[in-house]
Amino acid sequence: MTGTGPESLADLHGTALDEALARRFTVAEERVTVGLGDIQRRFTLRKPANADHLISEADYVMDERLPYWADLWPSARVLAGALIAEEGSGRRLLEMGCGLGLDTTAAMSANFEVTATDYYEDAIHVARSNASRNLGREPAVRMVNWRQWPHDLGTFDMVIAADVLYEQEYATLVAECLARALAPNGVAIIADPGRLALPAFREHLPCVGLELLSTDLVPFEDGAVKQEIQLMRIRHRQNPVPIA
């Protein structure tokens, strides 16, 4: 974790962290129910009230970075519903692009040992705060740039990501990072509503030694928002084809 300025968020926890985040941006609260049938969980998330207010011209000029992390996307809700039905005891999980921390919190509630990562420092602290609010404990967190994947991050039994294929270059980046982060017998779950880079991502999986195990189509409806979310389960290829 890193911290900047006179008030290092990395050193704060619980109420002190919540108060510091509220000084950084106007905060709103949202209650979210995830899952189906008898397997449902309700979480309370605090988040920036308006993601547009977080847009930084400097960040955009540097690498066209926008604060997508500050919104709660349908794919994250669907992925959280899948995670609460998993048994995570004794298993390590990595989230790529943790955003508000809904999926990190859901995975922790299923007893995974979670490391939450994001490209935005504010995101990892909001994720910490939301996990603590709902579960009374925090995940491990780390800032990660997919273009410069850290060699010391290790491998994980499960890797998850929700709605991360919104730029064409992410088709190869996400696939390559998955291949590095996934343990030999691990499984990744990627949730996507049909973004721009999805077809190229699926095509690139064999190039990095991965294969698509299954795809579940999950309808999502919340008021005027209607989407069909693809939940893709991915693993290392069992019989990789040698590259000539």
- Sign of CA pseudo-dihedral 168, 169, 173, 176: positive
pLDDT exceeds cutoff 60 at 244: no
Domains of the chain (ranges, CATH numbers): 9-236 (3.40.50.150)
Tokens 């095509």 found at: 203
**Strand 140-143 versus strand 113-118 pairing type:** parallel
Q: Do the beta carbons of residue 69 and residue 123 sit within 8 Å?
A: yes
Cα within 13 Å of Cα(41), Cβ side: 23
How much of the chain exceeds pLDDT 70, in percent? 88
- Confidence bin at 38 (pLDDT 50/70/90): confident
Nearest to 148 by CA among 124, 127, 126, 117: 117
Nearest to 116 by CA among 171, 176, 73, 156: 156
The pTM for the full model equals 0.90
- Confidence bin at 238 (pLDDT 50/70/90): confident
Query: Angle at the Cα of 48 (from 42 to 50), degrees rounded to 5?
Result: 115
Query: Angle at the Cα of 81 (from 78 to 82), degrees rounded to 5?
Result: 95
pLDDT exceeds cutoff 80 at 240: no
Could you report the per-residue pLDDT of 86-143, keeping only the tens digit for each? 999 999 999 999 999 999 999 999 999 999 999 999 999 999 999 999 999 999 999 9
